[in-house]
Amino acid sequence: MSRDRTGHSPRRPRSLSRFALVTGALTALSMAASGCVVVHGERRIVPAATPGEAARALKDFTVAYNNADRTYDRSKDADRVTGPLADIDGARLKAGRTNNPGGNPSHSPLEFDDAEYAIPAKAGWPRWFVANTTANKGTPGSRWLLVFTRGSAAEVWQASYLTVLGAGDVPKFPRDENGWAEPVTADDAALAVEPERLGRTYSAYLKAGGDTFASGIHTSQWRAQREKFASKPGLARQYIDEPLVSGDYAPVGLRTADGGALVFFATHRFEKQTAAAGTSIPDPSADVRALTTGEIKQSLTLEFVSNQVVLDPAKGSGDQRVSVLGRIEGLTGAKGD
């Protein structure tokens, strides 16, 4: 899958008093796509990075992330994050700094260990790879998967996607004789859903349902939760989901041993909460207030960026439903009316 790095998606904006600014594993963090596409005139298929370069990229990200988390200063890791991860964690840092100008009173350095790297061989730029590691935060024994990307040899590696999975949920990636992984293309017709269509298809599923995605916490259960909270006494909720597909938000995927693919993709969503006449919006948390513009009178519109990782099965391989293995989401903005 080839990514147009000139296309940049804007950083956009449960009872609010209990709202988690960053859901799922990113709270613990507080913590493209590829293919043989000719870019910049390069036609030779080469590995995206050496194992040593990949290890250095993970180390540099960790140092920058810890500096930013300790100080709540977004500038400390701005050159080491991009895409959905930059939006999600950048908003967390912004809210943290507003509420704690002196820095993070709960800072604990993030440490990675037991790193493995799935590095695809491809032609042209951009290039990317996946780091699969353990961390000193979150559920013991879980694996942290980070996608690192860069658009030219002159750029530094930046982390664009993050997900946390159980060790048994990380699929096997076939390697060639030199140990390089196989990327999938954006329009891979051998998969149940072409990677470039996953964001749009997932957004449509969240609105109307269907049988494209397997049942689970990020699919059928999430839809049921939305329906439950769509209309409660005194408060109505409306949802809009949209794909993020350009630049560093483009999907990236690796072929799995069963012929399918592990694909990362991004979406953003809006949740508008409207209070009935004579009632008011539940008091939002300090983190939500830090990201809110306007005055909250009768409505509050929350904006989120989310990155998902899925198993996209090979077409004709039995169960054709896409399985959402993980989703990390963060509030990136809010507007009161």
Give me the residue spans of the domains in the chain: 16-336
* pLDDT of amino acid 27: 41
pLDDT of residue 232: 86
Helix (H, G, I), strand (E, B) or coil at 280: coil
pLDDT in tens, the chain (337 residues): 433 333 344 444 434 433 344 444 444 444 433 333 334 446 789 999 999 999 999 999 999 999 999 999 999 999 999 999 999 999 999 999 999 999 999 999 999 999 999 999 999 899 999 999 999 999 999 999 999 999 999 999 999 999 999 999 999 999 999 999 999 999 999 999 999 999 999 999 999 999 999 999 999 999 999 999 998 889 999 999 999 999 999 999 999 999 999 999 999 999 999 999 999 999 999 999 999 999 999 999 999 999 999 999 999 989 999 999 999 999 999 999 9
- C-beta of residue 23 within 8 angstroms of C-beta of residue 31: no
**The pLDDT of residue 18:** 36
User: Helix or strand or coil: residue 183?
Assistant: strand
Four-residue CA torsion sign, 163, 118, 151, 56: positive
